[in-house]
Amino acid sequence: MVRRATHLAGVIETFTRAYFGPDIESRLRPGFFPFTEPSADVSMECHVCRGASTRPGGDPCRVCRSQGWIEIAGAGMVNPRVLVACGIDPDRYSGFAFGLGIERSLMIRHGVTDIRDTVEGDVRFSRAFGMEA
Ligand SMILES: [Zn+2]
């Protein structure tokens, strides 16, 4: 099972670098989701401060709250019990899942610094992304 979980980690790293840029770091930390085991929280290096806010003398960062990382997704190996419930033999098959928050993905990819801009309904913001009110 460990090899399969490392495959998940590799797919996530490949995805994040392809989507957000080859120099963006990502990390997985243990997490909990009811349908995956093991589960992980996926974080990416802050696109605004690039971690500088965590260093001595660094300016505070509002986007990552000076953590240097932004959580963007949940992930994990599909729990074998879920596979059994679906009629799939977990000794023969495995699966993994991950899902990104669309607002955070938009922020990181396009340099949006305030997540509230994505939900306030300002047409000047939404038109920039090809949406009409
Ligand atoms: Zn930051």
CATH number of the domain that 74 lies in?
3.30.930.10
Question: How far apart are the CA of 70 and the centre of ligand 1, in A?
Answer: 8
Confidence of residue 63 (pLDDT cuts 50, 70, 90): confident
Structural domain boundaries, residue 19:
2-127
**Residue 133 above 60 pLDDT?**
no
Residue 52 included in any domain: yes
Centre of ligand 1 from the C-alpha of residue 33, in Å: 26
**How many angstroms separate the Cα of 12 from the Cα of each of 28, 38, 63?**
9, 15, 22
Give the CA dihedral 91, 41, 15, 82, nearest 10 degrees: 30
Distance from the CA of 125 to the center of ligand 1, in angstroms? 22
* Domain assignment of residue 47, yes or no: yes
Phi-psi region of 68 (alpha: psi -120 to 50; beta: other; left: phi over 0): left
20 located within any domain: yes
Residue 70 covered by a domain: yes
Yes or no: say if 40 and 29 are a contact pair by the CB < 8 Å rule. Answer: yes
In a domain, 132, yes or no: no
Report the domain count for the chain: 1
- What's the CA-to-centroid distance between 74 and ligand 1, angstroms? 20
> Looking at residue 120, what is its pLDDT?
87
Instruction: Say if 73 falls within a structural domain.
Output: yes
Residue 110's pLDDT is 84
